[in-house]
Amino acid sequence: MSTLALLRPAARAALRQTVRPSLLCARSFHASRAKRFPQNDGGLSNILSGGDAPSVQVKTITPNGIQLADGLVLPSACIFLDGKVFLWNVPEKAWDGWKPEHFEIFETVVPKPEILLLGTGERVEMVPSTLRQYLNKAGIQVDVMNTRNACSTYNLLEEEGRRVAAALLPLTPRRWQDAPPA
């Protein structure tokens, strides 16, 4: 047996060792813009100060939840709006028991987002016409997609400076711990 023939299985085994862990890791989303904070504030920002909030960027999404660029993992439904993240108390099952009240935040915010990316979990679940009409009447265009694509699209549109919001359901449906009934 030649040396080359012996080297091939060893090289394949070494390649498997280096490639396999990277395949097990969740795929990260692109987030090119990073906001730099002064050294003396420890990277914290005062959301009550009235200044621009640091933008929220999604790093990755896994069955455990949505991981933000700063490392925070959101295990359940959330809304990204105006550079902030809001916990979103909604029913676990898509569209079963959902009401326009679940989207009232978009009526009260000024300026309204020009587009709402609705991430419906692992698969695309079309929004009932009553909810879509409610959002359209509020002047908000709705794009429905799975949560992975909604996160990626949110990062892209937010980087472009668009007034975008994202209402995201996790890949694995779950409620926020200690949340009242939705």
147-179 pLDDT per residue, tens: 999 999 999 999 999 999 999 999 988 878 777
Q: Is the pLDDT of residue 53 over 60?
A: no
Q: Is the pLDDT of residue 28 over 60?
A: yes
In a domain, 46, yes or no: no
pLDDT in tens, 61-99: 999 999 999 899 999 999 999 889 999 999 988 888 999
In a domain, 10, yes or no: no
Quote the pLDDT of residue 156.
94
Split at pLDDT 50, 70, 90, the class of 1 is low
Q: Which domain holds residue 105?
A: 55-182
Split at pLDDT 50, 70, 90, the class of 21 is very low
Type and span of the H or E element at 174: none
Angle at 98 between CA 105 and CA 88, to 5 degrees: 45
Quote the pLDDT of residue 94.
82
The CATH number of the domain holding residue 82 is: 3.40.1230.10
* 3-state helix/strand/coil string of 40-66: HHCCCCCCCCCCCCCCCCEEEEECCEE
In a domain, 170, yes or no: yes
In a domain, 85, yes or no: yes
Quote the pLDDT of residue 48.
56
Split at pLDDT 50, 70, 90, the class of 146 is very high
In a domain, 38, yes or no: no
In a domain, 41, yes or no: no
Count of domains forming the chain: 1
pLDDT in tens, 4-17: 444 455 545 554 44
In a domain, 99, yes or no: yes
In a domain, 11, yes or no: no
Within 4-163, strands assigned E span: 58-62, 65-68, 73-74, 78-81, 84-87, 115-120, 141-145
Which tops the pLDDT comparison, 68 or 22? 68
Which tops the pLDDT comparison, 70 or 28? 70
Percent of the chain with pLDDT over 70: 70
Gap between the Cα atoms of 76 and 87, Å rounded = 8
Gap between the Cα atoms of 142 and 132, Å rounded = 7
